[in-house]
Structure 1
Amino acid sequence: MPFPNFIDSFATNITGATPPETNPQHRALLDAFIDVQNCDRRLLTDIATAIEAGKGTAQQLEACADALIERFVAGYELSLLLSTDCCCAQDAEPCAPCGLEQGEECCQDPELPDSLLEACLGVFAQLGDPYAVASADLVDALRDLPGVAGKDWRYNDLTQARLAQLLAPYGMRTRDITLPDGRRRKSYSREALLTATGGCTSC
């Protein structure tokens, strides 16, 4: 459930309080925890479906395996966030990475990407413009970028599930693709990315 939700927003309006500014680190932790909960529910549902069907079909077993992998990834992302120092907290303590007080040019990253799609194209370009890039590899590369990818998620907070949510409105979905190195992974194609940006797909 998103936060603040309707009830919390309504309570803020009734009390006349000023909505506090969201701390990006706290928001990322909340989103990561919600991702873990959603993965748990999906995993339990897939397992229950397979049990009701007896041994389960190959498709059901594959769905269970995919859900379990997503749960591992989401849990790992949450662990990373829980172990990361919270920078630029509201107590105006010096910011650990840059040593500056809150309100100064603290944690400001230069050369922000114009958009998530442009950032993805940049990753493809760095890799020599392959016809496809695995979702996991794309996320790893995007996490090194500064700025916000979308939905208040910074690039370094991206996960495969979050990237999928951000790219879905552009009609982009992962597909099982055999990559140039021989791996078969859930991947994004360069053609789909160029189509989403309105670029030339034959270039």
Structure 2
Amino acid sequence: MAQGVCVVQEEKTVSAAPKLAQRVIKKYPNRRLYDTDTSAYITLAEVKQLVMEHQNLVVRDAKTGEDITRSILLQIILEEEAGGAPLFTEAVLSNIIRVYGHAMQGFMGSYLEKNVQLFTDMQTKLAEQSQSITPEIWAQFMSAQSPMMQGLMGNYAEQSRSMFTQMQEKMQQQTEQMLGVLGLKR
């Protein structure tokens, strides 16, 4: 009887593992990417496809084991920016570069992350709602006067404004703390 319980517990552990597991991609010195799940070499385009499919993945240097996922994701973005219609203008890229090393770097990262998530959520809602909409209703919906569009954009603008206000407050707190340390209180 005890053996039966043990087997059931082992089965539960095995079945739960795939849900939590990350897909491991190894990058070799010859720049080749190896997918350990499929035991095959894959391209950067295939890594992009895994990201598009919301696969939980990590890219590791095959020699050192170092996590280089960010580097690979940035490489995908670089390739996307080089082709077709870029997402970032030169002004945006310049401003992002200027934030590095600045006291606001940490806030800017979370601000951008939250805004991109808000935009993605809004896009998902639009896609879900648009499946049953005729072209005429869609054209009306997309007009600036549409109450539904105003509501969605108003919601996005309000959340973005709220995050910006929080960022300003944190910056003010940091400035006051820094001035206090220097003995220059307001």
- Shorter-chain TM band: under 0.3
Q: Of Structure 1 and Structure 2, which has the larger fraction of its residues in helix?
A: 2
Bigger Cα Rg: 2
Q: Which has the higher contact order (CA 8 A, sep 6+)?
A: 1
How does the TM-score come out when normalised to structure 2?
0.28
